[in-house]
Structure 1
Amino acid sequence: MEVIAPSDDRILRITPTDDPPGLRLAGELDATRHGELSEALSSHVAEEGDVRLDLAGLTFIDLGALSLLTSAMMRIVPTELHAVRAFVADQAKRCGLSADALHNLLVAVTEVATNAIRHGDAPVTLRTWPDDGLICEITDSGNWQPEEFISWQPPESAVDSGFGLWGVGMLCDTVQVRTGSNGTMVRLRSA
């Protein structure tokens, strides 16, 4: 198990706990700390599965952070993409997504998860939360460095690289891609 380094910037402290395994949050959790919280949650889920949170030390939490804490998250296992689709379908039903929007989202999530498994490094995680529909965020730990700017124009051929990501853009209302030395994150929104 990788140990999550404690974070202490005197505003927010995130510390791993052993019994039960989880995270202890203390201080103030505002918009400037969402990325730090999201990274800690993703790392813990990737290593441990479930996250147990001790929030007793929080003196302030904003609505965005509350949304992060209530998001649903799972580790993606390469041989269990059916479980990913079932997880997304369950979350989408809670958000009232239409059957057509759900179908499109399931195809898009499967494509992005498959790319993360094939081209990224483990762990691969999926996090979902409601926000004018449903947002699905797939994250891997690879080091993808695209040779050029990601284009939303169709590739010349279906066998060319990038066809899947272009298709994902056709299926979702919003697609965001962020990549760097810590991994790649693809965020999909469907309403």
Structure 2
Amino acid sequence: MNGNNVDDHLGNGVIIENTCGSVVSGNMIEECNGTAIILDRDCYGITLSSNVIAHHLEGGIDLRDAWGCTVSANTFVLVNVHSLVVGPGSGRITVTGNTFCNSHIGGATKRPVEHPQPISRDLAYGVLLDGTSDVSLTGNVFSGLRNSALTTRSDCRRVVMAGNVLSEVDTDAAKPSGMIKSAATQLIEAANSDALQAP
């Protein structure tokens, strides 16, 4: 799937099931009331790359049953709930070279934090790993997020988070931790650049 504009869906944007060896690239997927992209029911060997994923109310990419997949070079802008979820039915996932951001335009934000329409609020969220294993997060930029760049739930194993840039993340917390809120038992964190306040 390449070069499409998926806009203003009342539910989810793109749902892929029981598929292997596919590419979703170069698409603009925006303003869905649900989730932008869902991989479920025996997906494997799929690449999600170079997409703009913007203004979704229930999440950006949700890997529910996906194995050996790559999420790379996507721009997640103003995605509510979580920009990327890797669930307990998924694993062996590479997440690299993505941008997770709000509407920061250098010294200011373009959109207000409060607005009558949820889709118009300056709400951006990071990555959730939920009971998954064998996940690599490298070379990503996380900025202007309301929560931590990475949140783990349940028993995540063999997770690497390295070489990422974080700026002004976890802004909803009384004491921003910035990087990771983790329940993982096997998490390697290294060489991540962390700035809690925007320059």
Which protein has the bigger helix share?
A: 1
Which protein has the bigger strand share?
A: 2
TM-score, with normalisation over the residues of structure 1?
A: 0.27
TM-score, with normalisation over the residues of structure 2?
A: 0.26
Greater RCO, CA 8 A, separation 6+: 1
